[in-house]
Amino acid sequence: MKISLLTCACLLTLLAPAIALAQSSGADDRPLTSPRSITSALNQKARPIPIDDLYYTRSVEDAAWSPDGKEIAFSMDMSGRSNLWKVSAAGGWPIQLVQSDERQRGAAWSPDGKWIVYQQDAGGNELWDIFAVPSDGGDIVNLTNSADVAEVAPRWSPDGRTIALNVKTKTGTQSDLGLLDWASRKIRHLTHESAPDRSWRSVAWSADGKTLYANRTEVAASDGDVFGIDVATGKSTNLTPHQGNVLHVASALSPGGKSLLISSNAKGDYQNVALLDIATGRLTRVTDTRWEAKAGDFSPSGRSLTYTLNADGRSDVYQVDIATLRTEKLPLKAGINTLAATQGSYAPDGNWLLLSHESSGEPVNYWVHDTVSGRDMQITHTAIASLGSTVMPEAQIVHYQSFDGLIISALLWMPFNLPRDGTHPALVLPHGGPTWQMKDYWDPDIAALVSRGYICIAPNVRGSTGYGMAFQRANYQDLGGGDLQDTVYAANFLKATGYVDPKRIGITGGSYGGFMTMMAIAKTPDLWAAGVEVFGPFDWMSMLKHADPQIAQYIRSLLGDPVKDADIYRKTSPITYIGEVKAPLLVLQGDNDPRIPKDEALQVVDRLKKDGKVVDAHFYANEGHGFSKRENRIDATRRTVEWFDRYLRLKQ
């Protein structure tokens, strides 16, 4: 039976209470965890996982269905580089489409299925160009070839004549929308953003190709609106006007073109899923949760929609059958379950749904879910055999109170076979962002450390996403303040388990986690026995001068005006406290990092050497913000393990 989208909206209004009952718990209901309840399980098969094996296990991302639904294109690092591959939707051996020393992401098939376009940068510099390759393999074409402009997220128009792009200049603070003409290779700007803290991201084309729907979002993702843009004239219409800070983010357009599926916190502090009626602007809530719900896709028939629910660092995929009012949590194992495709996870016929699954004990893989029978089939197998025979302890989610009573969630990994005798080394792992969340991801670094006997905890400190907007904003102009205390209290939790030697606690993290590592060893120097800092900022003022302008704008959104709030910049920079460092520090950095420039790492190393402190550093050529080449990832993990073994292990 065919159901109109107006009917769907009415049904979903009735459906919302049923979904809310299924999701009645939330971040406000987290029970505290007794540290003494943490135990180390016995397992005779436990052994250190070889570091090489962790990185010869593949990773996959950015999948896309072919127009006929028979194939899936995606990025995979089987060759040691994240290149473009494809695989039959029925499973089988994947075929490499592009061989390059550089990384490719964001695959998108042309409507006729003959071409796949994707983005590629050089040496991690994030100045992406858009390339095209025949879907059956062949010569590669650089469509944009722009040295100082980044073009990302290609999206084909329905007639295949135009590709919508998100475009950012090297010196710009914001991204605009551009339209690439397939025949002439020329780009026409569709938006001309004047606000330095706003950027555009395309969402969907209308079926007639006359309208492009897009999100216009503040740089720290605290405010945003959904727009419809007339492709011929560039005239834009705000579909979600509001007062104050409210975040609306669209993800999909209904097949009938009448509704957008969006995530919104308009009705409260937490992100929920809603239907937006384009003509009236009316929002109909699909979820009512105090966790984080994210809008997914419409099925091709328009009878179903999807969303993901992130509850305390683990996520599940839900499908809503509008005709029967039935909500189904898709039956994948616990961990991180997501919609895998970047532009529509339903197969074109609607019979299959492309998903991904991973956890701290299992690498990411793609699965297809049969929407008719409910059967699931794994279509990629990324782990090498030795990993399959090695037991890895799963992460536990724990909750503790910080210095001011605020409840903090953390992921905790307890190695096997440890006696509760207070002699074991431990690590605190602050995450990046800070507008981010540590989830139950597969992480080779953590697997290497935990399998070697390091107790690890990764706290989601104030400023993290996933726990409501008030929590996300709780570190405004206080970076390295309350969030550092949340990190210290994670170490206190470890000590209270009775397993950890208080004199053998280390800390390591990347990006903002690198910043937190330096703030920790500088502001609370007596707690930490060693640190490994990975591409973290050292001086916010120098960051403003040398980082990518969009990152500089993000810093302003967190710390305020650098002139008026100069004292805040000083108080929140590790450079202010670096003279107090006692712990030996290892610094790892990419030469081409556009977000945290190499100069930040050089400042750290030079200052600590000048002060006679124990410090070492390694810089990776042709790497940016995060190491992507297999040999560099292996090397960085090996250096990290050796550093902590040197300073945290008991001397024999």
- pLDDT tens for each residue of 104-160: 999 999 999 999 999 999 999 999 999 999 999 999 999 999 999 999 999 999 999
C-alpha angle with apex 115: 110 to 120, nearest 5 degrees?
100
* Structure-block tokens of residue 422: 């207070």
Measured CA to CA, the distance from residue 153 to residue 128 in angstroms comes to: 10
Q: DSSP letter at 626?
A: B
Sorting pLDDT into bands at 50, 70 and 90, what band is 477?
A: very high
* Structure-block tokens of residue 6: 């107006």
Sorting pLDDT into bands at 50, 70 and 90, what band is 325?
A: low
The three-state secondary structure class of 324 is coil
Q: DSSP letter at 610?
A: H
Q: What is the CATH number of domain 387-648?
A: 3.40.50.1820
Measured CA to CA, the distance from residue 650 to residue 134 in angstroms comes to: 57
* Structure-block tokens of residue 190: 């569709």
Does the pLDDT value for residue 246 go beyond 60? yes
In this predicted structure, what is the pLDDT of residue 254? 97
Q: Tokens 């299925």 label which residue?
A: 113
Strand partners, 189: 178
Does the pLDDT value for residue 14 go beyond 50? no
Task: Write out pLDDT tens, residues 564-623.
Answer: 999 999 999 999 999 999 999 999 999 999 999 999 999 999 999 999 999 999 999 999
* Structure-block tokens of residue 23: 């999701």
Measured CA to CA, the distance from residue 435 to residue 639 in angstroms comes to: 28
Sorting pLDDT into bands at 50, 70 and 90, what band is 239?
A: very high
Sorting pLDDT into bands at 50, 70 and 90, what band is 3?
A: very low
Q: DSSP letter at 328?
A: E
119 and 84 Cβ atoms separated by less than 8 Å: no
Q: Which residue has the higher pLDDT, 392 or 638?
A: 638
Measured CA to CA, the distance from residue 298 to residue 304 in angstroms comes to: 6
Measured CA to CA, the distance from residue 617 to residue 535 in angstroms comes to: 11
Measured CA to CA, the distance from residue 336 to residue 323 in angstroms comes to: 28
In 335-417, beta strands by DSSP E: 336-339, 352-359, 362-370, 376-378, 396-401, 407-413
Share of the chain above pLDDT 90, in %: 90
Measured CA to CA, the distance from residue 401 to residue 266 in angstroms comes to: 29
Sorting pLDDT into bands at 50, 70 and 90, what band is 409?
A: very high
